[in-house]
Structure 1
């Protein structure tokens, strides 16, 4: 009995310490200058001086950082580092190394760091609470993902084509979420599609290791794109149960069955 009490005490203490550490980390981040936060964010990225922030000997002020937009208070509101010449994006080719996402400044609303080779993990609970777009498509991110802790104002969360694993909780997503991209990772287990946000317009789950029965009878009416392909899903669906807004449904390479009626 004494051993049991000691074991419970240690477990509870461990949880408490983890909670305190997380809170202290957030307080520390929020108290640091924005320049320092951005330098910590890119600290382990290779060749960053060539494309983003200058050298250690000759660092650039945030106003000179490529792909970083500040507000009138000189606070970071957007980080866009995209390996493409797409108009409106900062063309930053082939970043390697590790990105320390826990240091994203708390004022940041848009993060686009896509099509690179960056490693790192996503602690959703410490992302800026004002974040609206988070796009790290096509990198080498790993670890798990606790979507129930996404920022409450998030509109787009796109992390397809990474190495993220674990199970997915899709029944406690923020009500504001419009696009969720999780394709081409290593997610496994079952998913619940019966309690998705009413605002959701696009959901991409293809090319994972997901399985089990999928219920398509309670999808949000706003949903226009749904990709479940290349998973071990099973179940049946009825055309009349699908949202009227749905224009793209991909269930190829699954065990889902049903009839779709196409007007000629």
Structure 2
């Protein structure tokens, strides 16, 4: 009996769910249509009921049970129909959205909001709004008094507007956990106001021309919950001490990229207290000198470290042997001078991404860049997780043997270009199933091109600027439909281009500066995805195939310095409108 009594309730609940999920409420749809007068909400009027069911519009998400709008994604919605004209939003149009959780109006040339006449109406109706993105508009400080009345806000993005001076309304924004006021003209009063946001976890102050870094850091130290601090694109001056970072006990990410750190050495040597730091990114920040004795050694929880494009001249700190959590390490374009086999890199067994390109690392290729060295008694470490590896433009020398990838068995990206490698390219590279991109260019490799590389799962292959030679002959079953980019230029390859018959998905093909002979193969016309084709500086002869005109995507074609003859195909001629006789 009890079960039978429950059935009507279950049926009613089911009907309510089905009806609710069919579309948003009428007052919300009316408000959205009113917004459409100034924004493109991308509803599909040709999809039956979609015009009436605003929950199916691309810009709208709804609660599947109640049908109430929860998310409005209106970024860059105005430009395509209304151009660059600044406009003002009637905030009363937002009042029907009482379950709205996030609103994205970024990059819409919005000049401000016209608030409702009743001061507290907006905050009472939008009591569930947690995320508001107004970045990339033309807002001034008048918007702040309106937004400060919405206590439910947790994430507020105001970057790239016309805000000036003290941006924080006293007593407002008290529950914010995430704030982005980048690319605005803030002042010291704003920094003082930020330190009162006791719940703040993520703070973005990029491109705000910060100076006097010590004062700023000391003020922000009051934010005991801060986890992310981004200070990119600033000119940071002044002095800073270890004590200034003492209160940042929960900081996990510090981002300083593209800042001019006139106090750079002071900052690096002051990071010791940041023992919770997991990401440190300081690319292009004028770092220089020796970092071996800096307090980076205390950051044992680091997972991502980017010191690329600086002037650092030193060996890698020995203490990095203890930083086994690092997954991403980018030291590109510095002046590190070290022997890789004896460096702390051998201990970073969690590495997934490694870029040490453009340094002076001594890398004996026959042992592998991360292998043990018998004389140094460094234990051998196998880097199973390392998928991205760029050690180009260093001092890597010798022959490439199987010992190299025995220590890095699962790479997807491998760049060994611009080194001093010599000897044959191992055919076993073609059996590395994880490999998608292989760059061996600008070395001293000799011998032939292993056919296994053209019959592998590679997407991109470059062996340009070597001393490779001989014919490239594929077997009948060889086929790599996945190869999209192939660079063979500046070698000594000869024979015909018939091997291209299996590579019909190529987008870029460069075989220039070789000794290829014979006629241009008509099969090139089957490579319908070609965008760049360079066959110059070879010994090709015969006619230019008319079939080349079938390559609709082709943007660059170079057939120069060959022995081609005959008339040019008609598609070589440009069509130029003749001037009118009266002109």
Q: Settle same-fold status: TM greater than 0.5.
A: yes
- CA-CA distance at 1:50 after TM superposition: 3.9
- CA-CA distance at 1:152 after TM superposition: 3.3
Note if contact 1:193-1:219 (Cα within 8 Å) is conserved in structure 2.
no
After superposition, the CA RMSD in angstroms is 2.9
- CA-CA distance at 1:148 after TM superposition: 4.9
| Matched ranges for 1:59-138 at <5 A | 60-63=346-349, 67=355, 74-83=384-393, 93-100=394-401, 103-104=404-405, 105-127=408-430, 128-138=432-442
Show the counterpart of 1:199: 505
Deviations 1:157-196 (A, max 9, x none): 1000001111113683411000111111111111116624
The unaligned stretches of length 5 or more in structure 2 are: 1-335, 357-382, 577-583
Query: Residues 215, 97 of structure 1: CA spacing in aligned structure 2 closer, same or farther, 3 A cutoff?
Result: same
Task: Tell me, in whole angstroms, the C-alpha distance in 2 between the residues paired with 1:220 and 1:140.
Answer: 31
Task: Tell me, in whole angstroms, the C-alpha distance in 2 between the residues paired with 1:179 and 1:169.
Answer: 19
Indicate yes or no: 2:573 matched with 1:261.
Answer: yes
SS at match of 1:103: helix
Return the match for 1:53 from 315, 333, 340. Answer: 340
Deviates more, 1:123-132 or 1:153-162: 123-132
Show the counterpart of 2:543: 236
Note if contact 1:148-1:174 (Cα within 8 Å) is conserved in structure 2.
no
Deviations 1:42-84 (A, max 9, x none): xxxxxxx94462428x77314498538xxxx84221220122x
Show the counterpart of 1:157: 461
Query: Residues 64, 131 of structure 1: CA spacing in aligned structure 2 closer, same or farther, 3 A cutoff?
Result: closer
Task: Tell me, in whole angstroms, the C-alpha distance in 2 between the residues paired with 1:130 and 1:115.
Answer: 23
Note if contact 2:471-2:495 (Cα within 8 Å) is conserved in structure 1.
yes
Compare the two structures and name the one with the higher strand fraction. 1
Aligned length: 202
Task: Tell me, in whole angstroms, the C-alpha distance in 2 between the residues paired with 1:193 and 1:59.
Answer: 41
Show the counterpart of 2:485: 179
Query: Residues 184, 197 of structure 1: CA spacing in aligned structure 2 closer, same or farther, 3 A cutoff?
Result: same
Higher relative contact order (CA 8 A, sep 6+): 1
Deviates more, 1:123-132 or 1:180-189: 123-132
SS at match of 1:60: helix
The unaligned stretches of length 5 or more in structure 1 are: 1-48, 84-92
